[in-house]
Amino acid sequence: MHKQYILSLLADLIKAFGETFQMVGISLAISIALGIPLGLLLYVTSKNLFWENKALNAVSGFIINVIRSTPFVILLVILLPITQKIIGTTIGPIAASVPLAIAATVFYARLVQASLCEIDRGIIEAALSFGASPMQIIKDVLVPESMPGLLRGLTVTAISLIGYSAMAGIVGGGGVGDLAIRFGYYRYQTDIMFITVAILIVLVQAVQMGGDAIAEKTNKK
């Protein structure tokens, strides 16, 4: 009886972890693919930069702010029709990845923008003076020079995603956080709640330390 209980708990945990990794992994990949270009767009269209464009900068900034100021739970629900269109269902970790990816992308874009702002403008001026094209500056100056900041931002985004993914349980996304809420909270199984929270703490610690270590390695300043 006791053994069976532990076995079923273990199975639930493994499944939940798989779902969490799936959700966080997919949305993190998308936030890298879209958040970095979006952050770059915000930066290079800002004042005194080579693609300065007030309108584009203001519009993209505004859209990001709208998404960021919407509470994630609401975003999750609002995006249901879109998720249905893209994925074909609104249930499960892959469907939950749609709102997660959108929230993470705009979040990461701001972090990307912030770390780009840390680059000394003189370095960009130097590249311009050597005849670099905007694309060369983006590829050879902006991205490599801000790499430690980009990686730190990615770590922060990944950890936020682990937190957000708990809310994805509401739309049947599953995951560790969802397990903690359903079993630990609704069913008063305090032991499960503690175990899952403990595992989440370890997970967040591991991501933070790993992220810091990689960021430090790329930091040549």
Partner 1 sequence: MHAVRNADLAIADGEIFGIVGTSGAGKSTLLRTINLLQKPSSGSIIIDGVDITRAKGKDLRNFRLSVGMVFQHFNLLYARTVADNVAFPLHIAGKTKNEIGGRVPELLDLVGLSDKSSVYPSTLSGGQKQRVGIARALANNPKILLCDEPTSALDLETTNALLDLLGDINRKLGITIILISHEMAVVKKICTKVAVMSEGAIVETGNAYDIFAAPVHPFTRQLVEHTLDLELPPRLLKEVKGALVKIVYRGEKAEEPVLSDALRKHSIHFNVLHGKIEYINGKPLGVLLIDTIGNKEEIQKTIDYLKTRVESVEVIHA
Which structure tokens are listed for 8?
Answer: 């079923």
Give the H/E segment covering residue 6: helix 2-30
Residue 120 buriedness (CB in 10 A; 0-12 / 13-18 / 19+): exposed
Q: Which of residues 62-121 bind partner 1 (CB under 8 A)?
A: 120
Determine if 217 is a binding residue for partner 1 (CB under 8 A): no
Binding partner 1 (rule: CB under 8 A), the pick from 42, 106, 127, 150 is 127
Q: Give pairs for 208-215: CB < 8 Å, separation 24+.
A: 208/155, 208/159, 210/155, 211/151, 211/152, 211/154, 211/155, 211/158, 212/152, 212/155, 214/151, 215/148, 215/149, 215/151, 215/152, 215/155
Q: Which of residues 128-147 bind partner 1 (CB under 8 A)?
A: 128-133, 136, 140-141, 144-145, 147
Q: How far is the CB of 102 from partner 1 (least distance, A)?
A: 30
Q: How far is the CB of 127 from partner 1 (least distance, A)?
A: 8
Q: Which is nearer to partner 1, 142 or 167 (CB)?
A: 142
Binding partner 1 (rule: CB under 8 A), the pick from 1, 48, 85, 122 is 122
Binding partner 1 (rule: CB under 8 A), the pick from 74, 78, 123, 201 is 123
Which structure tokens are listed for 169?
Answer: 């349980």
Q: Which is nearer to partner 1, 53 or 218 (CB)?
A: 218
Judged by DSSP in three states, 213 sits in helix
Which residues sit at the interface with partner 1, rule CB under 8 A?
A: 120, 122-123, 125-133, 136, 140-141, 144-145, 147, 218, 220-221
